[in-house]
Structure 1
């Protein structure tokens, strides 16, 4: 119930009498329930989980400390009785549809509902020891899958074949799924930071960029490495070194108390001074947990100060349209003394046959 109690502190600070939780990820985070249909309602004195007949037994087993209330599928009527006496009710405005909110307004006035998505996101910013252990395992699975897939990154193999094999290896290693649709982009397509795997076949003399991630017991990992099919030319070697230096400098700068934008600036300065600043157009990184993108991040406007327990990616890149792109991404954990790199995949695996 530690997470519930932390939420109650946030509620008390905002004078929120009750909190509705709609998103499956936050429902799992707060209750442990893994079903696909449920709503939580939490007050200072009680915690309720509303679900239909299909999940009653599962909810009773998984959601310790919650009173499980049976409802008809998608029914909100029963919530009205639990709202009694609550003047302010928090809800996740980023996760509800207009029609859902309109149904809530049939139960209570508009002024009663207070947007609270950010407070729940902030609650998940720092990870406890168990979460870090699960994330570390997800990272390990991705590392292993990449290592076993490297021999397949060669001329004549399609991007889609690489993606399928990566997922196969992750599943064999215990992953419940992938963190996202893998990015496997070769040749000029590698200049697309989010170029999903296609039927294109890898050709000799091409860059191959892989961005992959495993999901393990709900938690995600994120890993990017850049390869070259054949012997890389000097341009590739030079740009690769710039990106690598930017990433390593940013990682060295990570410590508690520093703002995300300060870390972003460290990497961005190196790439800009090398003459490629305009070709690094995305943030340096983002937090990872139950979602592949969480708060806080490493961006030019990110003012959140890092705290021990935060897990964030560091992924600078250079993308030249018509030529290709280079990105190197590791996951790191902020510690009380600085930083711990979780990703173990070597960064010099850049040449394939």
Structure 2
């Protein structure tokens, strides 16, 4: 064994692990199956969401080396105390330089190959790592790792239920402050502040509040535009509880809705509802997308639906699987996905309705709590 001066840290402290250590041990066991299937002798993880998933570490820098019989979390001095409290399923290694630390921990023998998360490192870092370990000993992995967090366990689902419930309470409270003359940005700030005050760790993404013509932009940023009578207002928001995200979109109408807006809303709502009804274990993501799109096609609105029907949610607000026309991923019980059809008329207005759902064997459970019927504020 190497000594302290060379980086190894033996002691850990009992700390507030989010889940029981057996949860992380089970996840690491699944990860190790990739070693065999990919014909590698080790795996380096850099993505911090994956590192949190497998160890419980919540710091903002580090690397995780997994071998058949061991797991080692590499951190620098900023995170030593934190890692000793959070991580019970991996050895700890204190590094001064990450590449030096990886070389020391891996200690590759002749003929050994190590996989790494190619999408989580810069080209500059890859050049440094490949120069030290030799490029032919590094195997980039992406597809093999993309879906590893897709099926949620009971602890994860519990976190996501609480996140969705908290988010719903926050938005319900904010709706009383949505009135003519209030800037979009102020509504977004109310949601963000209300979430923090209610106990959220942070927002899952930048809150979208888009009214009038801005609502025709699927990823609009809230600005200084004042809300006006007759505006459709798209609010897309999510917050984080114990690391896990919620994601929900509601479209409200301020004051009144004319016939065209009501008809379009009804069409999007029908597409949303039919897609929800189609969600169950064993169906493909592309078939869910096709259901939503076919409803809008009957109303002549399919050309105005410019994005996929949904995506996975978990430690990240966008993760596997993708619910789109090109995704043949088969849904499995325990996956958590969004259903979010929309219609966007450039220069006029837009509508999106989104719920996050838990895939089950015979259907799905809707986790998000706000009602999705047209609400006139």
- Find 1:94's aligned residue among 106, 119, 131: 119
Structure 2 counterpart of 1:13: 37
Contact in 1 for aligned 2:338/2:354 (Cα 8 Å): yes
Write out per-residue CA displacement over residues 178-198 of structure 1, whole angstroms, 9 at most, x where no aligned residue.
Answer: 010011100111000011111
Q: Matched residue of 1:127: which SS?
A: coil
Contact in 2 for aligned 1:26/1:120 (Cα 8 Å): no
User: 1:202 aligned to 2:222?
Assistant: no
Q: Matched residue of 2:93: which SS?
A: strand
Structure 1 counterpart of 2:70: 46
Deviation of 1:252 after TM superposition, in Å, equals 0.4
Give distance in 2, aligned partners of 1:315 and 1:208. Answer: 15
Give distance in 1, aligned partners of 2:279 and 2:326. Answer: 16
- Find 1:315's aligned residue among 340, 344, 347: 340
Structure 2 counterpart of 1:79: 102
- Find 1:302's aligned residue among 315, 322, 327: 327
Write out per-residue CA displacement over residues 185-243 of structure 1, whole angstroms, 9 at most, x where no aligned residue.
Answer: 00111000011111111011111110000111111111101111111111111000000
Deviation of 1:10 after TM superposition, in Å, equals 1.7
- Find 1:279's aligned residue among 292, 304, 329: 304
Q: Over aligned residues, Cα RMSD in angstroms?
A: 1.1
Contact in 1 for aligned 2:269/2:373 (Cα 8 Å): no
Deviation of 1:112 after TM superposition, in Å, equals 1.4
Give distance in 1, aligned partners of 2:60 and 2:27. Answer: 21
Deviation of 1:117 after TM superposition, in Å, equals 2.7
* Corresponding residue pairs, total: 351
- Calculate the TM-score normalised by the size of structure 1: 0.97
Write out per-residue CA displacement over residues 35-89 of structure 1, whole angstroms, 9 at most, x where no aligned residue.
Answer: 11211111001111111122112112211121111111x4311322323226221
Write out per-residue CA displacement over residues 287-326 of structure 1, whole angstroms, 9 at most, x where no aligned residue.
Answer: 0001110011210011000000000000001100121001
Moved over 6 A (4+): none
Give distance in 2, aligned partners of 1:223 and 1:243. Answer: 15
User: 1:268 aligned to 2:293?
Assistant: yes
Deviation of 1:126 after TM superposition, in Å, equals 0.4
User: 1:27 aligned to 2:51?
Assistant: yes
Unaligned runs of 5+ in 1: none
Q: Matched residue of 1:6: which SS?
A: helix
- Find 1:175's aligned residue among 179, 200, 209: 200
Contact in 2 for aligned 1:21/1:41 (Cα 8 Å): yes
Structure 2 counterpart of 1:121: 146
Write out per-residue CA displacement over residues 134-163 of structure 1, whole angstroms, 9 at most, x where no aligned residue.
Answer: 011111111111100111111000101100
- Calculate the TM-score normalised by the size of structure 2: 0.91
Q: Matched residue of 2:147: which SS?
A: helix
- Find 1:162's aligned residue among 187, 190, 205: 187
Contact in 1 for aligned 2:265/2:374 (Cα 8 Å): no
Q: Matched residue of 1:286: which SS?
A: strand
Contact in 1 for aligned 2:75/2:93 (Cα 8 Å): yes
